[in-house]
Amino acid sequence: MFRQLCLNQNPKSWHALASYSLLVFLLFSQSWPSIMSEEKVAQGHTWQDAFEVLGISWNPDGTLNREILIPMVNATPTVTDPNNPPVALSNDVQLSPYSKAYVRLYIPVTPPATTKLPLIIYLHGGDFVLYSASTAIFHEFCNNIASQFPAVVVSVEYRHAPENRLPAAYDDALNAIFWVKNQSLGIGSRDQWLHYADFSKVFLLGSSAGANIVYHTALRTLDFDLSPLKIRGILMNQPFFGGEIRTPSEIRLIDDPYVPLYICDVLWTLALPLGANRDHEFCNPIAGGTFLGRVSRLPRVFAKANEGDPLSDRTTQLVKLLLENRVSVVYEYHQGGFHGMELQNTTAAQSLYNSMKFFVNSTGVTDDEDSHASY
pLDDT computed for residue 98 by the predictor: 82
* Burial class of 65 by CB neighbour count within 10 A (0 to 12, 13 to 18, 19+): exposed
Closest CA to 292 of 325, 317, 244: 325
* Amino acid identity for residue 214 in this structure: V
Are residues 303 and 332 in contact, defined by beta-carbon separation less than 8 angstroms? Answer: yes
Q: What Å distances lie between residue 210 and 48, 107, 128, 206, CA to CA?
A: 27, 21, 8, 4
Element (H, E) at 251: helix 248-252
* Amino acid identity for residue 93 in this structure: V
More reliable by pLDDT, 368 or 228: 228
Q: How far apart are CA 23 and CA 19, in angstroms?
A: 7
Per-residue pLDDT of 57-104, as tens digits, reads 678 888 877 776 668 999 999 999 989 999 999 999 999 888 889 999
Q: How confident is the model at residue 39 (pLDDT cuts 50, 70, 90)?
A: very low
More reliable by pLDDT, 19 or 206: 206
Closest CA to 166 of 273, 91, 71: 273
Are residues 215 and 170 in contact, defined by beta-carbon separation less than 8 angstroms? Answer: no
pLDDT computed for residue 64 by the predictor: 73
* 8-state DSSP, 36: G
Q: Is the peptide bond before 167 cis (omega within 30 degrees of 0)?
A: yes
Asked which of 52-66, 143-157, 279-293 is least confident by mean pLDDT, the reply is 52-66
**Residue 72 CB neighbours (<10 A):** 14
Phi, psi of 331 (to 5 degrees): -115, 120
Collect all residues with Cβ–Cβ distance below 8 Å to 34 and sequence separation of at least 6.
Answer: none
Q: List residues bridging with 331 in a β-sheet.
A: 303
pLDDT for residue 284 is more than 70: yes
pLDDT for residue 374 is more than 80: no
* 8-state DSSP, 157: P
Asked which of 43-52, 127-136, 267-276, 362-371 is least confident by mean pLDDT, the reply is 362-371
Q: How far apart are CA 20 and CA 292, in angstroms?
A: 35
Are residues 217 and 204 in contact, defined by beta-carbon separation less than 8 angstroms? Answer: yes
Phi, psi of 204 (to 5 degrees): -105, 125
pLDDT computed for residue 56 by the predictor: 54
pTM of the predicted model as reported, rounded to 2 decimal places: 0.87
Q: Which residues are catalytic?
A: 208, 309, 339
Collect all residues with Cβ–Cβ distance below 8 Å to 237 and sequence separation of at least 6.
Answer: 205, 206, 207, 208, 211, 304, 342, 352, 356
* 8-state DSSP, 64: E
Element (H, E) at 265: helix 261-271
- In degrees, rounded to 5, the angle at the alpha carbon of residue 196 between the alpha carbons of residues 194 and 200 is 85
Q: How confident is the model at residue 373 (pLDDT cuts 50, 70, 90)?
A: low
Per DSSP, the residues of 183-240 read HHHTTT---GGGGGEEEEEEEEEEETHHHHHHHHHHHHHTTS--TT--EEEEEEES--
More reliable by pLDDT, 16 or 233: 233
More reliable by pLDDT, 177 or 23: 177
pLDDT for residue 161 is more than 80: yes
Q: Is the peptide bond before 228 cis (omega within 30 degrees of 0)?
A: yes
Distance of CA 59 to the CA centre of its chain: 27
* 8-state DSSP, 11: G
Q: Is 12 helix (H, G, I), strand (E, B) or coil?
A: helix
